[in-house]
Structure 1
């Protein structure tokens, strides 16, 4: 028999999902700036107080969907196999995500994903808010990379920070290129060979300049 706590958590998850789906539907139909929090609460049949309990800000209603990826690169570096270099682990992980059509890679042609991507990239307020996820992800990856470099050399901290910025910038650029092709009508299957080749090329360039984190 399921515990009361388990039922409560499931109810919270359903409520959170209902609020998020109502918000995204309204944003896609009317535009982010034209939809108020009150509109979303009414559509989800919850109070504004309940809505803010799940999503503290309006942009969280959208960007929470990418929040899980905020420290993904750092998790990959820390969870890599024995003897595997950080760049190799990140490269391998990206290729796997491309094969899985993970939306974060841009290589996903599901209509809802394409519409969501267009919403985020086409809304200045969301782009500005997303910057905090970018900054947090870079800090997390820099910390993970720093852990892989023994010693306290003069440039250890700045090297890790610069590397993290370059790696995540490359990943965002690759995702944008993939989604741009799909937005022009290319299917994910058609785009995949070039997406993989571009990922290989990009990590080759990174490897050439980030010696501390390659094999």
Structure 2
């Protein structure tokens, strides 16, 4: 794999730095109470520079999950297993690691970020595009035809609902250990249902 150039590394550092500053302000004051100008000032850059990196205010937050847009597609492309077998294993491994993307994580920073994301209508609306891009990438990895697009929509929806249920319970006060057993059982049931419905992408 080719190492990123110095320019690419600096660009990525800029993304991370500005996004981090913005999320901190949003968590402190609320998303709607912080202007883009305030974020730019805190990051010590101009508004035009900020907009070159983040076309919309919401992207300052969604940058934190942008690298998950092609995650399911990468899992399928890099595995020798049937797609649903690989995706099931990946999700269960994520639960074991308490990966925030599975919702099974009770670190205060993770809970605060998820509360910001799911509790702000503008961010929820913008996140819809994130889900569409996940579906498109997975559909391409599954073959790109209509059947692949239908399957991708169902798979991404299952992953989202499982993660949201885990986050909902933890946000309501349950611990990771309270939720873990149910989360694993629910994932096994959900992916089992997908394999029975989407036989072309299940175990061979």
TM-score (norm 2): 0.92
Q: Is there any run of 5+ residues in structure 1 with no aligned partner, and where?
A: 148-156
Partner of 2:64: 65
Partner of 2:189: 201
Bigger shift: 100-109 or 6-15? Answer: 6-15
**Contact (CA 8 Å) 2:19, 2:64: kept in 1 or not?**
no
Bigger shift: 15-24 or 102-111? Answer: 15-24
After superposition, the Cα gap between the structure-2 partners of 1:14 and 1:143, relative to the gap in structure 1 and judged at 3 Å, is closer
Deviation >4 Å, runs of 4+: 5-11
Alpha-carbon separation, structure 1, partners of 2:39 and 2:30: 12
Partner of 1:19: 18
After TM superposition, list the pairs within 5 Å mapping 1:24-63 onto structure 2. Answer: 24-63=23-62
Q: Deviations for 1:67-104, whole angstroms, at most 9, x for unmatched residues?
A: 111011111111112xx211100000001111111111
Bigger shift: 47-56 or 177-186? Answer: 47-56
**What RMSD in Å do the two structures reach over aligned CA positions?**
1.7
Q: Deviations for 1:4-55, whole angstroms, at most 9, x for unmatched residues?
A: x965555444433221111111111221112110010111222112212222
Partner of 2:96: 99
Alpha-carbon separation, structure 2, partners of 1:161 and 1:13: 31
After superposition, the Cα gap between the structure-2 partners of 1:192 and 1:45, relative to the gap in structure 1 and judged at 3 Å, is same
Alpha-carbon separation, structure 2, partners of 1:162 and 1:18: 37
Of the three residues 117, 120, 123, the one matched with 1:120 is: 117
How many residue pairs match? The answer is 200
Q: What displacement does 1:197 show?
A: 0.8
After TM superposition, list the pairs within 5 Å mapping 1:156-175 onto structure 2. Answer: 157-175=145-163
Partner of 1:151: none
Q: Deviations for 1:177-205, whole angstroms, at most 9, x for unmatched residues?
A: 00011101122233211111110010111
Alpha-carbon separation, structure 1, partners of 2:5 and 2:138: 33
Alpha-carbon separation, structure 2, partners of 1:45 and 1:144: 40
- Which structure is larger by alpha-carbon Rg, 1 or 2? 1
Of the three residues 167, 170, 176, the one matched with 2:164 is: 176
1:144 corresponds to 2:132: no
Q: Is there any run of 5+ residues in structure 2 with no aligned partner, and where?
A: none
Alpha-carbon separation, structure 2, partners of 1:120 and 1:164: 23
SS in 2 for 1:63: helix
